[in-house]
Chains A and B, each alone.
Chain A
Amino acid sequence: MDKTEHESVEARARRLYRQATGELDSAARAELARARVRAVEAAAGRDGRRWMLPAAAAAAAGAIVLGVMMTVHDQADFSPIAAQDPADEDMELLLATENLDMLSDLDFYLWLDTEPDAG
């Protein structure tokens, strides 16, 4: 299969895809708009509640200090949480990288890989 054939398939597929993106029916557009509004409201609500965080953190810290003071000192040690750094994947990403732009964003990509939702 030569390169010209590939490019032709790619070009046609891309054109159809763009066309589909621009020609969504009104029901789908309305549903997407509703989803967007819900998502923005959820984010705004979350940000709006952030003023409560310092107070909540202070209350939680107080409770922890009190708890520690009341706890007997002979309790068992807790094991440290095992490191869960996916070093192998990071190295693969690093070694396979041919694009210098990506290296400049490496911190971001590594962070992205550790995210439970996005990773």
Chain B
Amino acid sequence: MEEHLLDRTSELEAFLRGVERQAYVMARTLTGDAEEAMDIVQDTMLRFSTRYARRPPGEWRPIFFRILVNRSRDFHRRRAVRSRVMNWFRDEDLPDPIETAPAPRGWDPEVAVADGEALAALEEAVAGLPGRQREAFVLRCLEEQDVAETAAIMGCSDGSVKTHYSRALAAIRQRLGEHYDG
């Protein structure tokens, strides 16, 4: 019994070690916020370990990333609510500070790529996608999950994944411009 627990514990440790960096970069890409991404990964690890670690290890990966994607969705929901509340209270005569603020990191596709900040440019472009398209792009393109796995993680049909991914890819291509190739 004790030996079994030790085996399971070391298996869990190895699994988390294997996905933690990937999970962090994925959460950062999904949220566009490094600090929030770390919180999401910590929360995902804890929830996964305490609630799902007794599931067969073959099921761990989709469960883990499903939790991660859902926590990222929660972040976007919270941010949307916060934004609505701020807009409600703000003086109509004053310009919206969010709308008038300069783009994060002075984002400009050409300059960003030329300066070797291609990843930042990519993250900005991904952050500008609608939620489902963002998830489909991260899972299908960056994480190289197949359609069925992506559908399971996103909780939608294969057809939806294909539609979201195709639209995301077209938007990313347009956003980053021709110079991104090569």
B30 at interface by CB-CB < 8 Å: no
Chain B residues whose CB sits within 8 angstroms of the CB of A74 once the complex forms: none
A1 and B155 CA atoms in complex are apart in Å by: 29
Q: Is A32 an interface residue (CB 8 A)?
A: yes
From A1, A6, A43, A101, B50 is in contact (CB under 8 Å) with: A43
Q: B158 at interface (Cβ–Cβ under 8 A)?
A: yes
Chain B, 81-130, CB within 8 A of any chain A CB? 118-119, 122
Known A-B contacts A35-B45, A38-B46, A43-B53; A14 and B141 likewise in contact (beta carbons under 8 Å): yes
B144 at the interface (CB under 8 A from A): yes
Find out whether the CB atom of A21 lies under 8 angstroms from the CB atom of B25: yes
Contact of B157 among A17, A19, A92 (CB under 8 A): A92
CA distance A117 to B71 in the complex (A): 9
Instruction: Give the bracket for the number of chain A residues in contact with chain B.
Output: 35 or more
Q: Is A24 an interface residue (CB 8 A)?
A: yes
- Known contacts A1-B173, A117-B70; A32/B20 CB under 8 A: yes
Instruction: Give B145 Cβ to nearest chain A Cβ, in Å.
Output: 12
Q: How far is the CB of B175 from chain A (nearest CB, A)?
A: 10
A98 to chain B, nearest CB (A): 6
Q: How many A-B residue pairs have CB under 8 A?
A: 149
Q: Check A20 against B70 for contact (C-beta < 8 Å).
A: no
CB distance B25 to A42 under 8 Å? no
CB < 8 Å: which of B16, B38, B118, B180 contacts A36?
Answer: B16
Complex Cα–Cα for A75 and B31 (A): 52
- Chain B: residues with CB nearer than 8 A to chain A? 5, 8-9, 12-13, 16-17, 20-22, 24-25, 29, 34, 38, 41-42, 45-54, 59, 62-63, 66-67, 70, 118-119, 122, 141-142, 144, 146-148, 151-152, 155, 157-160, 169-170, 172-173, 176, 180-182
Can you name 4 extra interface pairs (CB under 8 A) apart from A42-B46, A97-B158? Answer: A40-B16, A43-B49, A96-B151, A102-B148
Binding site for B on A (CB under 8 A): 1, 5-6, 8-10, 12-14, 16-17, 19-22, 24, 28-29, 31-33, 35-36, 38-40, 42-44, 46-48, 89, 92-93, 95-99, 101-102, 105, 108-109, 112-113, 115, 117-119
